[in-house]
A and B are shown apart, each in its own frame.
Chain A
């Protein structure tokens, strides 16, 4: 079974789903992602689904779950590049995915993550621990 690669880009993780996922793949991706977020102490996760053409209620829910899990671990998650047909399907399935942040492409997703990190830093009023 093909594993979906998780790339580290700066302080973010990039998950690019290039094939139509089946359920087992989605579950194993969720495991991998959780492990990687903890291991790399990533501040944000970008999930690129621009090549994903088919979603069902399970995959839709998995996307929501992955975003929630990342947020529980203290990182931000952004789903980027959703196709129109996929968006329509998810709305028709009645999945609200209200906790998922979205962006048009990886560029804009990255900008959104940076903006959120800056906001947090300003609110916190001190430099991040690592620096």
Chain B
């Protein structure tokens, strides 16, 4: 049965190669009318022709309904490639799966034309073709989601790096303006960044500014304290600045004790304190008018 079906489908594909390809292209173009900006017609035509050629040779060599057989390997690779590219270009999952599903209509039309009189054979053919195309379509969606996840992971890693700059305010004074929620993973990156910069620049003061941190709970406070203690062990002093009124209240209500750690309301206060510690005095050159 399987070989029989496979042969018959392959026969139909080979015999009607050009018309099926044309219909398929038309279907895809119709589905993509709004997406002409993302892929050109020429590209789509080339892609479809190549995919179709691989598809026909796979129908001949492999089992018709089992895409895990080696005969389908090249088709799957090509589809994965198409799917990945489309995920990056910004297509939706449905649009990507349509590449495979839109071949149904032209194929079914040809099958009916060939086997119209033989209802049983027609049903068999339709069934195996549906099974095959559904599998291919689902595979496309899977690859699509996988590549989207990869993109998200890469962006997260990039954000982690971007969001923790260590700036030098003065000779021996570093500042780390923190923006966004602090979780364990991010604190680790921040901590390593601060400590490494302390070594690199030989700074004895580091100001951690938390103006941009929306929520400070006990866990975040613990993370901050760990950073301060680690800096102290290396011989640098850490100041925490930018504590907003609501956050100061919340911390006291939570019972967070900063103990011996110096905390200031604004970055300016912290810088003034740091100057005092390293023995720098700042004066106005002329009285402000």
Residues of chain A touching chain B, judged by Cβ–Cβ distance below 8 Å, are: 79-84, 86-88, 90-92, 96-97, 100, 102-105, 108-109
Contacts and interface: CB of A to CB of B under 8 A. Distances in A.
For chain B, the bracket of interface size reads 10 to 19
B188 to A, nearest CB: 8
Contacts of A92: 226
A96 B229 contact: yes
Interface of B: 191-192, 195-196, 198-199, 202-204, 226, 229-236
Contact of B198 (A86, A91, A104): A104
Contact of B199 (A79, A84, A90, A91): A84
Given A104-B202, A105-B202, A84 B235 contact: no
Given A84-B234, A102-B232, 17 more contacts: A82-B233, A82-B235, A83-B234, A84-B192, A84-B196, A84-B230, A87-B195, A87-B230, A87-B234, A88-B226, A90-B230, A91-B229, A96-B229, A97-B233, A102-B233, A102-B235, A108-B235
B195 A80 contact: no
20 contacts: A79-B235, A83-B199, A84-B195, A84-B196, A87-B230, A87-B231, A88-B192, A88-B195, A88-B230, A90-B233, A91-B230, A92-B226, A100-B233, A102-B232, A104-B198, A104-B199, A104-B204, A104-B235, A105-B202, A108-B235
A90 B233 CA distance: 9
A104 B237 CA distance: 10
A100 to B, nearest CB: 8
